[in-house]
Chains A and B, each alone.
Chain A
Amino acid sequence: MKRSSSIVLVAVLIAFVAGWLTRAGSSSSVSATASSPLADAFYVTLAAFLTLAILSFLYKDNPYYKFAEHLFVGVSAAYWMSVGFWSTIVGNLFPRISSGLSAYFGVPFKDFTIYYFVPLVFGVLLLMRLSSKAGWLSRWSLAFIVGTTAGLNLVRYLRSDFITQVSNTFVPLLVNWRGSGAFFSDFSLSASGQFALSLSNWVIFLGVFCGLVYFFFSKEHKGFFGGASKMGIWILMITFGASFGYTVMGRISILVGRLTFLFHNWLGIID
C-alpha cells in the first residue's frame, strides 16, 4: 500500500472513531436515540469519505475518485433498473394484462386492458437489439418513440414557445400614452413610471427583433441585417451573463451544503 493511501486510511479511521466516541458520549446524555452511535458514525464517515473522494477530482484523477465514480455509476444504474422494473412493468403493465403475474408480484390486479399489449410488444421489439439476427426489429420501436414524441412536441412548442412569444411582444411602446404630449405630462424615472415601463417594452421589442434576425440562417449577415444580428448577439450575451451569475449563485449554495455536511454532520466543528 502506498504511503498516501495509508495516511488517508488512518485519517478516515480516526474520523470514524472520533465520530463514534462523540456520538456515544452525546447519546448517553440523551435518553433515546433513533440509531446506534456506531452505525451513525459509520454512515456519516462513509458519506464524508465519498464526498471528499469526489471533490478530490479538483486536484486530479486518483484512485479515490475512481472508486467513488464507479460506485456512484453502478449503484445509480442498478437503482434505475430496479425502479423501472417495479414501477413500470410490475406497477403499471402486469395489473393491466395478467391477474396471475399481478398476484405473483403482490400487486392488485386492475381492469384487463388489451391496448397495454402495444407497449409490451414494442418493449420486446426493443430488446431484440440483443440478438444479432433480429436486431433490426428494434428500429420499429425507436421509430415509434422518436416519431410520436417529435410530432406531439411540434404542436406543444408551437403553442407554448412560438405563439406565446409572439403574444408577449405585443406591448405598448409608450406606456399610458393618451395623445400628443400626454406621455411627458406624467413622466417619472421610478421603476413603475412611464419611462421605465416604456423602456422595458422597447427592450423586449428590439431584443426579440434582433434576436430573431441573428437566428436567420437563409441570409448572410451583412448591411442592416448584419447590424441587427450583431445587436442580437449582444442582447443574447447580456442575457447569458445574467443567467450565468444567477446559476453560479445557486451552485455556490450547493457547495455550502456539502461543506456544511462535512463541518457540521461529520466533524461537528460548526453548529
Chain B
Amino acid sequence: MKLKILIICSLLLPWLVPLANGQDSTGTTARPAQIAVQPPAPVGDLTARDSEDDNGHSISLSWSLSPDDAGGLKNVLGYKIFRAASKEGPFAERNVAASGINQYNDAGGSAEGDNDYMANNIDFYYKVQAITADSLVFADSPVFGPVQATGQWFNKARTTVLVFVICFMAVMLFFINKARSGADLFVRKLAGIEAVDEAIGRATEMGKPILYVLGLGTAADIATIASFTILGRVAKKVAEYQTRLIVPCNDPIVMSVAQETVRASYMDAGRPDAYKEDMVYFVTSLQFPYVAAVNGTMLRELPATNIYMGKFYAESLLLAETGALAGSIQIAGTDEIAQIPFFVVACDYTLIGEELYAASAYLGREPVLLGSLKAQDYAKAAVIVLSIIGIVAANVGWTRFVELFHITR
C-alpha cells in the first residue's frame, strides 16, 4: 500500500512541484521578471514645440531623464515616444530613444500622400514612457499638448547664405553695370578656348565635320548653360566657314535649347539658309546607349574636331578615347571633378572646372557673363581672406566665427 502511494505521489510530483513554486501545470513561467523589475520613475518636464527653421511637419520634444536612468533603480532601458491627435488617445508609438537621451525630433512626411505624413497646424499630444527590460513594466509621463507643427518663412541657420547671396548679387550687378557702360573687363586667355578657332579652321580645311557634345546634363545645369554659349560661338564660326556641325543630344530639352542656339548663330552669321534642324538631334536619354551612338558617329563621320563641353559622367573616357582613335583634335571642358582626369589624359585641351564658365564669358563677351565672372573672382578672393581669418580663429579658439560657417540645415 505504501509503495502504491509512493508511486502515485512520484507520478504526481512533476505537476505538484511547479504549482507549489507558482507555475502552472503546463510548465510556463509566471513572469519572474515582473517580480524582479520594479516600475521606474517617469520622465519629468516633458515639453514639445514646433521645430525651428523648417517647413513644418516636425515637432521637437525634450524631457528630463527618469531618476532611475543611470541612477536610483538603474532599470530604465530607454524611452518610448507616443503621439496622439487628442489628449485621451489613442497614442501611437513614434520611436524609441535610448537611455540617457532626453530629446527627440518627431518628423513626418511633408506631402499628403506620404506614409508618414504629419500635417501642419493641427493639434498633437505627446507622452514619453520610461521603459524597462520587461515590456509590462514602464512608467508614463503626463500627456503634453496641444502642440502644432508650423513652417517658418526664414531659416535662421542659413543667414550666412543669405548674406553671401546679397553680397554676391551686389558685386555681380556692379560689374554687369560696369561692363554695360563699356568698361573693358580683363579675362585672362584660356588655351582651350584659343584652340577652338584653330580647330574649326582645321575642320574646314580638311572638309570634315565638327562634333559638339553637350554632355549628359540637363538644360538647367550650369555646365550645360555655359556649354550653350560656347556652342553658339562655335556654330557662328561654323556657319561662316561653311563647315558641317553635328550635335547629338542626350536630353530632349537640351536638344531644343541647342537647336535654338545654333539657329540663332546661323542667323547672326548671315546664313540662315545653311541651318538644318537635324544638325542637332536627339539620340536617347540613357547614358551608355548614347555613348554607343556617339562613338559610332565618330568612327563613321570621322570629325576633324570633337568638342565636349558640359556635364559628363562615366562616358567621358569612352568618348574621348574613341575621338583620339579617330584622329580628331579634342577640346573638353566639364565641372565634374571626377571626369576631368580622363579628359586631361585623352584630349588635346581641357577646361578644368570653372574654366568652362569663364570660357563662355570669354567667348561671349556679354556684360552679364563678364560681370558674373568678375563677381566670382571677387568671391574667390573673399574665400581666401575668410579662410585665413578662419584658420587664425580655429587656432586661437575663436569659435563664434567658425560656427558662422557651419550650416547644418
Taking Cβ atoms with an 8 Å cutoff, the residues of A that contact B are 54, 57, 60-61, 65-66, 68-69, 72-73, 75-77, 79-80, 110-111, 126, 129, 138-139, 142, 145-146, 148-150, 153-155, 157-159, 162-167, 169-174, 177, 205, 208-209, 212-213, 215-221, 236-237, 239-241, 243-244, 247, 251
Contact = CB atoms under 8 A, between A and B. Distances in A.
Nearest to A66: B296
Given A61-B299, A170-B390, A170-B394, A216 B257 contact: no
A218 B377 contact: yes
A79 B286 contact: yes
A76 to B, nearest CB: 4
A85 to B, nearest CB: 13
Interface in B89-141: 112-113
Contacts of A166: 383, 386-387, 390, 405
Range class of the B interface residue count? 35 or more
B377 A72 contact: no
Interface in B199-222: 218-222
B219 A243 contact: no
Contact of A217 (B221, B257, B292, B373): B373
A54 B292 contact: yes
Task: Please provide the 5 A-B residue pairs with the shortest distance between their CB atoms, ordered closest to farther.
Answer: A149-B220, A170-B390, A167-B405, A76-B286, A244-B341
A219 B188 contact: yes
8 contacts: A142-B253, A146-B219, A159-B161, A163-B161, A212-B383, A217-B362, A218-B185, A218-B187
Nearest to B325: A60
B54 to A, nearest CB: 15
A188 to B, nearest CB: 20
Interface in B357-394: 358, 362, 373-374, 376-377, 379-381, 383-384, 386-387, 390-391, 393-394
Contacts of A170: 387, 390-391, 393-394, 402, 405
A68 B289 CA distance: 9
Contacts of A251: 314, 317
Nearest to B382: A166
A72 B293 CA distance: 9
Classify the interface of chain B: helix, strand, loop or mixed: helix
Given A73-B284, A142-B260, A208-B387, A240 B341 contact: yes
B355 A240 contact: no
Contacts of B300: 61
Nearest to B389: A170
Given A205-B387, A215-B380, A217-B373, A69 B402 contact: no
Nearest to B164: A158
Classify the interface of chain A: helix, strand, loop or mixed: helix
A122 B391 CA distance: 49
A162 B379 contact: yes
Given A218-B188, A251-B314, 11 more contacts: A69-B295, A76-B289, A126-B253, A142-B260, A149-B218, A154-B165, A166-B386, A170-B393, A217-B373, A218-B374, A241-B341
Nearest to B380: A212
B160 interface: yes
B222 A145 contact: no
B144 interface: no
Given A170-B405, A243-B337, A244-B341, A215 B354 contact: yes
B41 interface: no
B407 interface: yes
A142 B219 contact: yes
